[in-house]
Amino acid sequence: MPVVKHPRLRDPLYYEWDRRAQKCGLRHTIYAVNGDQYTGEWLDNLKHGKGTQIWKATGAIYSGDWKFGKRDGYGSYSILDPVTKEHRKVYTGWWENDQRGGRGVFFYPNGERYEGEWSDGLRSGWGQMHYKDGSVYEGQWLADQPHGQGVLRLPNENRYEGGWKDGKKHGPGKYFYLDKGQLLEGIWVADIPKCGVLVDFGRHKAPAPTQYPLPEIKLRDPAGVLAEAQAMFDDSHN
């Protein structure tokens, strides 16, 4: 007998399940197998657009922009405080490829705060760091360390202006001892001043000036001495 084929009344259920799995556009909350949940926009089954992710294991929350399944754009990341059971904001700013990238603010557990540029999740570029002891560093960063030109202001208003390398004072710089009314201008290597000129600077306004002013020393050319020191420093690091 000839075989007669009849058209299907409906497609198998797995066709429908597969279609629904390809999430696209705005969706309500989607739960992962491990309990993580995401509410927001999708594209080709990937988080893409605006959305909020909650990680069940840690209670952390990210709310912001996504791009092809990764945090990318502007967003805020918070963690759950184990003591207060409340969420504490950790970072607000720009993201690139699931890491901090661009400008943003990071809040440390000990109360310190960094505002500035990021690259690959690390402080890199220009930024300002507020330390727990009241010190503030503003300047260039590289790979999470002060590196380049920057200013460090201490709680007693003393400050250092100059070069930095790997988080330490390095190269030409000026250290203003405003509490004593003195200024040291010289060359630093790994946080240690190697040579320089110390002079009185606003001593009459200093809160704790030295007992006697510094005697004037007649150098043939203070600027020339520092220039020679700088040349020696450059030669030793080439």
Per residue in 161-175, pLDDT (tens digit) is 999 999 999 999 999
216: which residues sit within 8 A by CB, 6+ positions away? none
Per residue in 37-63, pLDDT (tens digit) is 999 999 988 999 999 999 999 999 999
Of 22-36, 85-99, 222-236, the poorest mean pLDDT is in 222-236
200: which residues sit within 8 A by CB, 6+ positions away? 181, 182, 183, 213, 214
pLDDT (0 to 100) of residue 213: 83
Residue with tokens 């600077």: 201
Q: Pick the closest to residue 59 from 35, 41, 32 (CA basis).
A: 35
Distance CA 21, CA 13 (A): 12
Q: Provide the 3-class DSSP secondary structure of residue 234.
A: helix
Query: Are residues 85 and 75 in contact, defined by beta-carbon separation less than 8 angstroms?
Result: no
Per residue in 213-222, pLDDT (tens digit) is 887 766 555 5
Residue 16 reports pLDDT greater than 60: no
pLDDT (0 to 100) of residue 224: 63
Per residue in 141-166, pLDDT (tens digit) is 999 999 999 999 999 999 999 999 99
pLDDT (0 to 100) of residue 220: 54
Average pLDDT over residues 5-22: 56
CA R_g for the chain: 29
pLDDT (0 to 100) of residue 227: 67
Residues in the chain: 238
Distance CA 174, CA 225 (A): 15
